[in-house]
Structure 1
C-alpha cells in the first residue's frame, strides 16, 4: 500500500515561480500530493495558468484566506516548501506578519510542528540588508530548514530579472530529507 504525503508548495513573486508546473510534476513523481499557494503578486503573474495548475495538482490554487465557516479545501500538510521566498516574504514570515495567505500558512506550520523548508530568492543587495539575516536566523531558530548559499540558492547581483539558476531539485531533496527524518 502506498501512502501519498501532502506538500504545500508556497511561492512568492520571483522569476523562478514561472517554473512551478515543472516543480509540481517533480514533486508528484516523488510521491507528493501538491497543494499550491501563492502570494497575491505571484497569483497575478500566473493568472493565465491558475486553472491549469489547479488541474495539475487536483486542488484549488490558493492565494487568499477562506471566509470563516468555509471548509478547508486542502488536505492537511505533511511538509511545506516555501520557495521562491522573496525578501519580503522571508521578513514578513519571520516577523509574524500574516496578512498574505502563503505567509500565514507558513507561520502556522511552525507552530504545528510541520516540517518546513524554504529557499529564499533575493538578489545580493537585498540579502545584504541586516533584517534579512535576522529573519533567516529567526526562521532557523524555529526549526525551518533554510537553503541559502552553498546549500541552496546563491544570491546574484541586483538588476537581472531572473537568477541564472534556481535549484528547485535541491529544495525538493531537502523536503524529502526532513520528512524522512521526521517519520
Structure 2
C-alpha cells in the first residue's frame, strides 16, 4: 500500500485525550500520521507527548517553525482537524493564522489538500452567530465539515457524549496519495 500522510490536528476539547487511539486507528487504515495541537491541547497532553511522538514517528507540533528551518513533516495528503473547538473553527474561517493549527489548515485550503473537520462545541457556543457563518465559510472553501446528522451534534454545557471519531476517519476514505 502506498503511504499516505495525514496531518491530524486537535484542539483543546475532551476528545483530544483519545488521540493516541485515533492515531492507531488511522495507521491501521494506511495513514502515516503527523500530530499537531493547539497550544492549550499541547499543554493538556504534555505528559503524553513523548509517547505520541513515538507512536507517530515524528515530532508533535504546536508552533510554527522558525524561518529557514527545514520542514520536519512530509507533505500532507489529507488533513483532519478534530476535535475542532469554537475558537479553532472561527479563527480558521476568518483567516486568523497566529496559531500553528489555524495557519496550516488555512494554507491547506489554498494548496488543495483534502481537509475534514469535526467540531466539538456545546449548544451555547453554536447559538453565537459567527459559528454558523464559519461552518458555512469552511464548506464554501471545500472543507468537509462533519457537523449535524452526519457528524458531531452539539451537546449541553457539561454534558458528556461520545465523540464520533469513526465518522471522522471514514470521511478520509478515498483520499489517496497526491505525490
- TM interval, shorter chain, is over 0.9
Query: How big is each residue's C-alpha offset from its partner over 1:48-107, in whole Å with a ceiling of 9 and x where there is no partner?
Result: 000100000001000000001100000000000000000000000000001110111110
Give, in whole Å, the separation in 2 of the partners of 1:148 and 1:136.
9
Structure 2 Cα separation of the partners of residues 172 and 63 of structure 1: 22
1:171 counterpart = 2:165:
no
Q: Does 1:69 align with 2:68?
A: yes
Which secondary structure does the structure 2 equivalent of 1:35 belong to? strand
2:44 is matched with which residue? 45
Task: Tell me if 1:98 matches 2:82.
Answer: no
Scaled by the length of structure 1, what TM-score is found?
Answer: 0.95
SS at match of 1:77: coil
Aligned to 2:153: 154
Structure 1 counterpart SS, 2:83: strand
Structure 1 gap segments, 5+ residues each: none
User: 1:11 maps to what in 2?
Assistant: 10
**Deviation of the 1:158 alpha carbon:** 1.5
Count of equivalent residues: 178
